[in-house]
Structure 1
Amino acid sequence: MAAFDLEEQEQISQIKGWWEQYGTVVTAIAVVAALASVGWQGWSWYRGKQGAEASALYGVVQQAAAERNAQKAREAAGTIIEKYSGTPYADLAALMSAKVQSDVGDLKNARVPLAWAAEKANDPALRSLARLRLASVLLDEKAYDEALAQVQAPVDADMAARFADLKGDILVAKGKPEEARAAYKEAVDALAGATKSEASALREIAQAKLDAVGSVK
């Protein structure tokens, strides 16, 4: 028994020595881990709350769109963009509100959410779509140089034809048929062999426009 007590005392002494040397570090690590866990839980709760609130407001935008209530859509989308810009609902609300404004002929207010989405939308694909729609609105407003600037930057292959086709429209409006022909040809070539009905229809439209302004030399 004495031998056991001696061995036990020796182990206790070793543990005390180890703790005196490393105890502060271990405690610090434990505190940091605890704080990280609490912080992550708090962040998750905050993100969930943000998402729920943004979702509710997006429902208001959807209802306003169904009612063609441009002001209601604009205000709800504006709140989402201002307070919940980090959520996917901000991207969607911006595009939907812009469509409502455009549908009622308010191109000026359609530009605002599109300009935001074209630069700051969370989804790269939606940024490209916003740029395309913004360029279309600017074309309707006869702001040709601004519209052209929106379609000049590179885009993903799946959007290239639509950008090229719209670029052709802008160049025709600017009185530059030669450049317009090149843009329409680019759109037609990008859709060569397209089988989906929508892509095939766009190719036929771009080809008709190309034929209308003459063949590319």
Structure 2
Amino acid sequence: MVDELLSDNEREEALREWWRDNWAWILGGIVLGVALLFGWNHWGKHRQGQAESAALLYRDVETALMSRDVARAEEALAALTGKFDSSSYAAQGRLAVAKLQFEAGKYAEAEALLRKVADGAKDDELADVAQLRLARLLVQQGKNDDAIKLLEPLTAGGFGALAREIRGDALFAKGDKEGARAEYAAALANADAPIDRQLVELKLQDVGGVVPAASAVQRSL
């Protein structure tokens, strides 16, 4: 209503006054917006470049794995983790090289890599996989109590059946057949569990257990 009562000259003068009072803020906002947009684009390109570089180094790890060359795989992994230690490529590389080391009998080296992933991977699933593999390695070395304790947090999750199976192996190795029976039976109770059901059934029978009826029916289908 007030604006309608102002003359053209008065409105023009008011606009000029408003501009004198606010031009610095407006210009600063424009500059900041441009800077943020430039920074975002630069960061995006930087991240893409980093990911591509990490992928190339991971490819070297894969090449060494295909040739079953442990020393070469370790060198390739060192190059990858030296530059991209916190990347998912580094975690996957550690898991893969640890498997190769385990098969070569380099248990201490494999354990160190698996613990690194289990304790520091940003991807929870990779961390869980590392814990499962570490537990198997601990059982292989006779560190059964350590394996049982390590797997306790996983028994109720998506890897629960696998964790139960490995805990059963650890308990059986300790001579606790009753405990092993309970763990194997719990592993088989999940019909959709990603386990080798026939193998776990054999383990259960070996410790005097009875294969659950649901498991037997499913196997016959």
Q: TM-score, normalised by structure 1?
A: 0.84
CA–CA distance in structure 2, aligned partners of residues 84 and 11 of structure 1: 60
User: Tell me, what secondary structure is at the counterpart of 2:105?
Assistant: coil
Question: What is aligned with 1:48?
Answer: 48
CA contact (8 A) 1:132 1:151 kept: yes
Question: What is aligned with 2:149?
Answer: 149
Question: What is aligned with 2:3?
Answer: none
Number of residues paired by the alignment?
Answer: 204
CA–CA distance in structure 2, aligned partners of residues 37 and 45 of structure 1: 12
Question: What is aligned with 1:122?
Answer: 122
Question: What is aligned with 1:208?
Answer: 202
User: Tell me, what secondary structure is at the counterpart of 2:159?
Assistant: helix
Equivalent position amino acid for 2:209 in 1: S
Aligned pair in 2 of structure 1 residues 151, 83: CA closer, same or farther (>3 Å)? same
CA contact (8 A) 1:68 1:104 kept: no
CA–CA distance in structure 2, aligned partners of residues 32 and 156 of structure 1: 49
Q: How many Å apart are 1:131 and its aligned residue?
A: 0.8
Residues 158-178 of structure 1, C-alpha deviations (whole Å, 9 max, x = no match): 421111101100111122222
Q: How many Å apart are 1:132 and its aligned residue?
A: 0.6
Question: What is aligned with 2:179?
Answer: 179
Question: What is aligned with 1:164?
Answer: 164
Structure 1 unaligned segments of length 5 or more: list them.
1-5
Q: How many Å apart are 1:55 and its aligned residue?
A: 0.7
User: Tell me, what secondary structure is at the counterpart of 1:153?
Assistant: helix
Aligned pair in 2 of structure 1 residues 189, 150: CA closer, same or farther (>3 Å)? same
CA contact (8 A) 1:128 1:155 kept: no
Q: How many Å apart are 1:45 and its aligned residue?
A: 2.0
CA–CA distance in structure 2, aligned partners of residues 178 and 109 of structure 1: 33
Q: Which moved more, 1:128-137 or 1:202-211?
A: 202-211
Q: Which moved more, 1:57-66 or 1:45-54?
A: 45-54
Q: How many Å apart are 1:26 and its aligned residue?
A: 2.0
* RMSD of aligned alpha carbons: 2.2
Q: How many Å apart are 1:157 and its aligned residue?
A: 4.3
Equivalent position amino acid for 2:204 in 1: L
Residues 125-144 of structure 1, C-alpha deviations (whole Å, 9 max, x = no match): 11111111111111112222
CA contact (8 A) 2:155 2:164 kept: no
| Identical columns (%) | 29
Structure 2 unaligned segments of length 5 or more: list them.
1-6, 211-221
Residues 35-78 of structure 1, C-alpha deviations (whole Å, 9 max, x = no match): 21122122112211211111111011001101111122122223
Q: TM-score, normalised by structure 2?
A: 0.82
CA contact (8 A) 2:154 2:163 kept: no
User: Tell me, what secondary structure is at the counterpart of 2:175?
Assistant: coil
CA–CA distance in structure 2, aligned partners of residues 207 and 95 of structure 1: 28
CA–CA distance in structure 2, aligned partners of residues 128 and 155 of structure 1: 11
Question: What is aligned with 2:66?
Answer: 66
